[in-house]
């Protein structure tokens, strides 16, 4: 344990022992001092100015947006032929509007016009006029020769956000659902909506949870799978879950969740808890619970998360499970971290892993979806200045970007329901978890965005661990990779690139749902399906769409399929290990879910 504490100090984190568990845990010392700036005075003034400006721009770079619009606007102004094409297309759209047989239909994922009243006059005409205009703007902002792709993507994205604002579904006098509610309730829906608005404003001012999500209490309603915290250091608590079977598989499971979210996305209510399901299937399960960083952790870097997170947890699991190989499972950015740790372990001859499972996790960021719009040089410079001043990136400063990726579902539909229809969403466990946000340390998040998102160092062999590069190709373990069909955070085509980076044994799953709901997809959940195919070592590469056609289509949850995959690689059963390893200095510290998950 002294080695771990020494490592913590080496990375700029100063710890003092936790007297609840001498010798096996550590916590950040209140008096720890960190370096706040290495820049000259003039640059400090600039950073303060940019951080202040970000408060009024939603942490988006005005320079980045301006450059994108200038690129598009100047090329369009210098393309009279393209302007003529757009004018002709506008004429064709008007002609289509006059001919109902040629009307467009909303895309399946567009839920704005699903109500049956939208198919009746005059609302069908209003909806069609909007959809045709939306189609025209999409054509106007794409396919213009000479415009940088990154700029074209930004302009197209910004245009879509603006158009979404003017959807007829957002206006009470054009929305048949709102009009029907207004007539049926004699206008009381607007009174209730005004009350909801006032309540939300009050909650925002007082920094309270929205939509009664706080009615779900961590450790009482969610994160209730029994277990013990068996390790605590300045960055993680490691939870070992109590067995429920007389025997367990010899190889334990270590879960590395994302730290952009709290770990209990994988331990919600008992009926949909991923962790509870694994324990019930006869596995010894460990899960990392990350600390919610404040300004005192501003210099915590990405490699700290590897060493004080994954590697420290592996040391503990090894001690408790008597050196049994570990099935490691990483979710989202936790999966990216796990892939880095596994590659470094392979490089260094560390063979403690039995397999690697990546859930909605990217290892190549060239097709990382619309989040890339927020990761150009200008945008990262602004975020750096924001985080430099605060010491972290606040959850609210991240939420806006994620909501804009699905503004129709996450913004406008909610505003219509809450303020025009006067209805509150019934709180549920996933909503409660989503409201329980976390922060990101300055140094770590800057390194993550620049080295992985912007520079793509991991995929291109430049990512350094302990001064030497690593390669995903060095991982010689079986890999189980799960992606989701409608993931806007880690698009499945991006997740699929693991096939290009590693030529080993890869089982790939594409499941229905999005980044969270597709992973939290318990058996018995209605309307679930997934595709699955295995690529053995030496077999030919398939392009994503070819893979999709060739893969086996299955109904239901992918969880049992993954457990069966694990079972094949864990044929022997043993008596459950003790909770913790007191004889090796790892005595249990506290009951699950621990204390770090409660930090706000």
Known active-site residue 332: yes
Write down the pLDDT at residue 368.
Answer: 86
Per-residue confidence (pLDDT) for residue 537, from 0 to 100 = 95
489 and 353 in a common domain: yes
**Residue 84 exposed, middle or buried by CB count within 10 Å (0-12, 13-18, 19+):** exposed
3-class SS string, 87-117: HHHHHHHHHHHCCHHHCCCCCCCCCCCCCHH
pLDDT number for residue 591:
96
Same-domain pairing of 460 and 588: yes
Quote the pLDDT of residue 412: 76
Both 246 and 167 in a single domain? no
Q: Give yes or no for a contact between 516 and 272, defined as CB atoms under 8 angstroms apart.
A: no
Please tell me the distance from the alpha carbon of residue 63 to that of residue 566, in angstroms, as a whole number.
49
- Among 189, 209, 243, the domain-final residue is 189
175/245 same-domain check? no
Q: Which helix (H) or strand (E) holds 287?
A: strand 285-290
pTM score, two decimals? Answer: 0.85
The whole-angstrom separation of Cα 586 and Cα 230 is 6
Residue 405 lies in a domain: no
Within a domain: residue 384? no
Q: Is 257 within a domain?
A: yes
Residue 294 burial by Cβ neighbours in a 10 Å radius (0-12, 13-18, 19+): middle
Q: Half-sphere exposure of 499 toward its Cβ, with a 13 Å CA cutoff?
A: 22
Which of 535, 506, 518 is CA-nearest to residue 332?
A: 518
Strand 440-441 relative to strand 227-232: parallel, antiparallel, unpaired? unpaired
Please count the CA atoms within 13 angstroms of the CA of 598 that sit on its side-chain side: 9
Q: Residue 212: inside a domain, yes or no?
A: no
Residues 83 and 231 in one domain: no
Residue 436 belongs to some domain of the structure: no
Whether 512 is covered by a domain: the verdict is yes
Total structural domains in the chain?
A: 2
By CB neighbour count within 10 A (0-12 exposed, 13-18 middle, 19+ buried), where does 491 fall?
A: buried
pLDDT, one tens digit for every residue, the chain (600 residues): 333 333 344 334 433 333 333 333 344 433 333 344 444 566 887 777 777 776 776 667 888 888 999 999 999 999 999 999 999 999 999 999 888 877 877 877 788 898 899 989 999 999 999 999 999 999 999 989 999 988 998 899 888 888 988 999 999 999 999 999 999 999 999 999 999 889 888 877 776 665 555 578 888 889 999 999 999 999 999 999 999 999 999 999 999 999 988 999 999 999 999 999 999 999 999 999 999 998 899 999 999 999 999 999 999 999 999 989 999 999 999 999 999 999 999 999 999 999 999 999 999 999 987 777 777 788 777 778 777 777 777 766 555 555 555 555 557 788 888 889 888 877 777 777 777 778 889 899 889 989 998 999 999 999 999 999 999 999 999 999 999 999 988 999 999 999 999 999 999 999 999 999 999 999 998 999 999 999 999 899 999 999 999 999 999 999 999 999 999 999 999 999 999 998 888 899 999 999 999 998
Rounded CA-CA distance 132/127 in Å is: 9
Whether 351 and 477 map to the same domain: the answer is yes
Residues 331 and 470 placed together within one structural domain of the fold: yes
Domain final residue, candidates 131, 166, 189 = 189
Q: Are residues 494 and 561 in the same domain?
A: yes
Same domain, yes or no, for 100 and 235?
Answer: no
Domain assignment of residue 179, yes or no? yes
Asked if 167 and 292 sit in the same domain, the reply is no
Residue 180, domain member (yes or no): yes
User: Scanning the structure block, which residue is given the tokens 């804009």?
Assistant: 404
Alpha-carbon gap, residue 572 to 569, rounded angstroms: 9
Q: How far is CA 95 from the centre of its chain?
A: 43
Q: What domain range is 164 assigned to?
A: 42-189
Can you give the CATH number for the domain in which 521 is found? 3.40.50.1820
Task: Report d(CA 572, CA 435) in Å as an integer.
Answer: 41
Whole-number Å distance between alpha carbons of 289 and 232: 9
Q: How far apart are CA 129 and CA 328, in angstroms?
A: 52
Percentages of the chain per state (helix, strand, coil), in multiples of 5: 50, 15, 40
d(CA 395, CA 402) in angstroms, rounded, equals 11
* Confidence (pLDDT) at 214: 55
Question: Do residues 154 and 237 share a domain?
Answer: no
Q: Helix (H, G, I), strand (E, B), or coil: what is residue 435?
A: helix
Q: CA torsion sign, 168 to 171 to 174 to 176?
A: positive
Is 357 in the same domain as 502? yes
């Amino acid at each position: 344990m002294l080695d771990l504490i020494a490592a913590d100090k080496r990375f700029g984190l100063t710890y003092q022992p936790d007297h609840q568990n001498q010798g096996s845990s550590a916590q950040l010392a209140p008096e720890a001092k960190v370096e706040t700036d290495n820049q000259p005075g003039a640059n400090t003034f600039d950073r303060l100015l940019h951080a202040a400006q970000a408060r009024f721009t939603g942490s988006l770079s005005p320079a980045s947006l301006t450059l994108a619009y200038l690129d598009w606007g100047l090329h369009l102004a210098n393309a009279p032929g393209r302007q003529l094409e757009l004018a002709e297309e506008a004429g064709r759209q008007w002609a289509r509007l006059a001919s109902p047989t040629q009307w467009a239909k909303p895309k399946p994922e567009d839920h704005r016009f699903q109500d049956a009243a939208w198919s009746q006059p005059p609302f069908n005409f209003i909806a069609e006029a909007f959809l045709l205009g939306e189609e025209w703007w999409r054509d106007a902002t794409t396919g213009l020769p000479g415009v940088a792709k990154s700029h074209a993507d930004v302009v197209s994205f910004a245009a879509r956000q603006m158009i979404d604002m003017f959807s007829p579904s957002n206006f009470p006098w054009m929305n048949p659902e709102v009009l029907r509610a207004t007539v049926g309730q004699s206008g009381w829906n607007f009174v209730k909506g005004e009350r909801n608005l006032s309540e939300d404003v009050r909650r925002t001012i007082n920094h309270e949870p929205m939509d009664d999500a706080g009615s779900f209490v961590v450790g009482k309603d969610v994160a209730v799978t029994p277990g013990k915290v068996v390790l605590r250091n300045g960055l993680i608590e490691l939870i070992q879950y109590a067995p429920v079977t007389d025997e367990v598989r010899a190889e334990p499971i270590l879960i590395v969740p994302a730290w952009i979210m709290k770990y209990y996305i994988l331990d919600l209510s008992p009926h949909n808890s991923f962790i509870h399901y694994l324990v019930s299937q006869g596995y010894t399960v460990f899960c990392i619970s990350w600390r919610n960083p404040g300004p005192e952790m501003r210099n915590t870097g990405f490699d700290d998360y590897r060493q004080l997170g994954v590697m420290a947890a592996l040391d503990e699991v090894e001690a408790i499970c008597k050196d049994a190989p570990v099935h490691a499972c990483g979710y989202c950015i936790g999966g990216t971290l796990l892939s880095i740790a596994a590659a470094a372990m392979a490089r260094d001859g560390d063979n403690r892993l039995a397999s690697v499972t990546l859930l909605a996790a990217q290892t190549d960021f060239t097709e990382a979806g619309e989040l890339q719009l927020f990761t150009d040089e200008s945008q990262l410079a602004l975020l750096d200045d924001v985080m430099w001043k605060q010491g972290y990136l606040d959850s609210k400063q991240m939420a806006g970007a994620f909501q804009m990726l699905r503004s129709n579902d996450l913004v406008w539909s909610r505003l219509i329901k809450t303020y025009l229809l006067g209805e509150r969403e019934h709180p549920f466990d996933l909503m409660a978890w989503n409201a329980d946000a976390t922060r990101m340390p300055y140094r770590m998040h800057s390194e993550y965005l620049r080295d992985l998102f912007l520079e793509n160092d991991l995929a291109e062999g430049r990512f350094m661990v302990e001064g030497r590069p690593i390669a995903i190709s060095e991982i010689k373990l079986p890999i189980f990779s799960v992606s989701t069909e409608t993931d806007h955070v880690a698009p499945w085509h991006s997740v699929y690139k693991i096939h290009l980076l590693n030529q080993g044994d890869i089982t790939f799953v594409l499941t229905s749902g999005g980044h969270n709901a597709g992973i939290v997809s318990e058996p018995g959940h209605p309307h679930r399906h997934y595709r699955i195919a295995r690529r053995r070592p030496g077999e030919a590469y398939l392009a994503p769409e070819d893979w999709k056609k060739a893969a086996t289509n299955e109904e239901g949850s992918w969880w049992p399929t993954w457990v069966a995959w694990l079972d094949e690689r864990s044929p022997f059963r043993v008596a459950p290990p003790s909770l913790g390893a007191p004889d090796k200095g790892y005595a249990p510290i506290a009951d699950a879910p621990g204390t770090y998950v409660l930090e706000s």
